[in-house]
Chain A
């Protein structure tokens, strides 16, 4: 059974979003990392890039698959996690501790379209 953290927002495409003021922190869920298996590469946008809700912003590659990363929210990328780029296996070790990008949220109301931990727990069973 995969871990789901309360207080975060979730996308159906298995990304999580943590909201801190007008900043959104994005990662992939424990369920997603378990499905992908051993992650070997993460392709992330540079700071300054524009991301759109439900649109591709990068990709994550495991030994058996490659998946697009879809942004749970729209806005501008303000930071990327270099530690995860350097050591992609960090995501396997701790999916919720390994954020990928930080976004300056453009439209806070988009959050309402995301799943709660309770709903996500249901779909990621």
Chain B
């Protein structure tokens, strides 16, 4: 059964007759000729099914299916088959947030459950219906922070993924917000410098845990230092790791945000992924986007509705604190099913297995004598090491061996030596790790 029917030729004729045009192109006559696309589309001729299948198979054969030991924000965690089966159900398959509770109870309920699970994992009191990705969620968290504190300067830790910092800077630029980078020391935020930077005109501080280098930073006491100046703490997290780490709530953070790709989402060349944002209840009216609330219908039965929309762009216009008027619904459904399937114990186990694998790989790499510790700090499923091996050589031998690993993340910071990122998920076996170590350990400069 299809929910959507395209217009028939008769429908189109009737509509055109009604408004007094003959051709659809007449609708676009206000488009200036010099910007209108007037050529043919130049689309190749149709293929038969056999030809098309062959064509697509040829294209697909150019892909390499490598074993992945890379991280930096996107991880090769396992995606259980049941998720794809369920998210592709016609009743669910939409990217959009529902407006009509009368016909959308199922969708609204899973969004409510998504929010509840995000709030539980982050240790926060309220979460929204989801964001596009971790980077934009962090930028929106910055908007929240500057609106809460009513100040337009914000501190950003140098240990945040530079891609996230770039997005935050882009958002800040067009809102007139000044970004001040807090320097790091030994892979973590420099607490001494931070203390000097927390002044009366600072809206807050954005940090990341685990940070860009995979390090589990200790943020004890930072929230108090900020709150003493009426500033807020914003934490960016890899949500999967919150099953085993101190939560942003534990750290006293006011806003938590980050990416949910680690909840078993396919890497898929960078997306679609999913962002989350959560806060203390006091700031719920500053949360961007949609929030689904649980209520009762007129018969007194449990029902779900979109709530707290009045702050949004379509009502507040240019005064709105955020321009987010939707959510990343399909991927939020994906995350909801994943979390419901794994449960707290399952998610903990994913982290424990990833931790064991990552620490085994780290120790074995150091043993080769070709890789050296970059920082003396705790890590979970990813880490960086230093090496003098040339990056091109590493890339080449790993590609030959069918592996994707050792992304060079900083070629200048440690003098002549390079920092390489490795990540290990529950999908990596000891055999795979040993093979990676054998390949890299056999290299010489």
Given contacts A64-B310, A66-B311, A66-B315, 14 further A-B contacts (CB under 8 A): A40-B310, A41-B285, A41-B310, A43-B285, A61-B285, A61-B310, A61-B311, A62-B310, A63-B310, A65-B310, A65-B315, A66-B310, A66-B316, A68-B319
Q: B47 to chain A: closest CB distance in Å?
A: 53
Enumerate chain A residues within 8 angstroms of B285, measured Cβ to Cβ.
41, 43, 61
Query: What are 17 A-B contacts defined by CB distance under 8 Å?
Result: A40-B310, A41-B285, A41-B310, A43-B285, A61-B285, A61-B310, A61-B311, A62-B310, A63-B310, A64-B310, A65-B310, A65-B315, A66-B310, A66-B311, A66-B315, A66-B316, A68-B319
* B302-324 contact mask (Cβ, 8 Å, vs A): 1 or 0: 00000000110001100100000
Nearest 9 A-B pairs (CB), nearest first?
A66-B310, A61-B310, A66-B315, A66-B316, A65-B315, A66-B311, A41-B285, A65-B310, A68-B319
Residue of B nearest to A60 (CB): B310
Enumerate chain B residues within 8 angstroms of A40, measured Cβ to Cβ.
310
Chain B residues in contact with chain A, CB under 8 A?
A: 285, 310-311, 315-316, 319
| Bound CA span A62–B308, Å | 10
Chain B interface secondary structure, helix, strand, loop or mixed?
helix
| Bound CA span A31–B315, Å | 20
* A109-124 contact mask (Cβ, 8 Å, vs B): 1 or 0: 0000000000000000
Q: A51 to chain B: closest CB distance in Å?
A: 13
| Bound CA span A43–B311, Å | 12
Enumerate chain B residues within 8 angstroms of A41, measured Cβ to Cβ.
285, 310
Give A39-71 interface residues, CB cut-off 8 Å to B.
40-41, 43, 61-66, 68
Give A13-60 interface residues, CB cut-off 8 Å to B.
40-41, 43
Residue of A nearest to B311 (CB): A66
Chain A residues in contact with chain B, CB under 8 A?
A: 40-41, 43, 61-66, 68
Q: A16 to chain B: closest CB distance in Å?
A: 22
| Bound CA span A66–B315, Å | 7
Q: A59 to chain B: closest CB distance in Å?
A: 8
Residue of B nearest to A43 (CB): B285
Residue of B nearest to A36 (CB): B310
Most buried by B among A61, A66, A68: A66
Enumerate chain B residues within 8 angstroms of A61, measured Cβ to Cβ.
285, 310-311
Enumerate chain B residues within 8 angstroms of A64, measured Cβ to Cβ.
310
Residue of A nearest to B319 (CB): A68
Residue of A nearest to B312 (CB): A66
| Bound CA span A61–B310, Å | 7
Enumerate chain B residues within 8 angstroms of A65, measured Cβ to Cβ.
310, 315
| Bound CA span A45–B285, Å | 15
Enumerate chain A residues within 8 angstroms of B310, measured Cβ to Cβ.
40-41, 61-66
Residue of A nearest to B316 (CB): A66
Q: B15 to chain A: closest CB distance in Å?
A: 32
| Bound CA span A40–B293, Å | 15
Q: B225 to chain A: closest CB distance in Å?
A: 22
Enumerate chain A residues within 8 angstroms of B311, measured Cβ to Cβ.
61, 66
| Bound CA span A101–B316, Å | 22
Residue of B nearest to A64 (CB): B310
| Bound CA span A68–B318, Å | 12
| Bound CA span A43–B310, Å | 13
| Bound CA span A66–B286, Å | 13
Residue of B nearest to A41 (CB): B285
Enumerate chain B residues within 8 angstroms of A62, measured Cβ to Cβ.
310
Residue of B nearest to A66 (CB): B310
| Bound CA span A63–B310, Å | 7
| Bound CA span A61–B319, Å | 13
| Bound CA span A68–B319, Å | 9
Enumerate chain A residues within 8 angstroms of B319, measured Cβ to Cβ.
68
| Bound CA span A65–B317, Å | 11
Q: A84 to chain B: closest CB distance in Å?
A: 16
Enumerate chain B residues within 8 angstroms of A68, measured Cβ to Cβ.
319
Q: B285 to chain A: closest CB distance in Å?
A: 6
| Bound CA span A62–B310, Å | 7
Enumerate chain B residues within 8 angstroms of A66, measured Cβ to Cβ.
310-311, 315-316
| Bound CA span A64–B316, Å | 11
| Bound CA span A40–B310, Å | 10
| Bound CA span A40–B319, Å | 19
Residue of B nearest to A40 (CB): B310
| Bound CA span A41–B315, Å | 15
Enumerate chain B residues within 8 angstroms of A43, measured Cβ to Cβ.
285
| Bound CA span A66–B322, Å | 14
Q: A85 to chain B: closest CB distance in Å?
A: 12
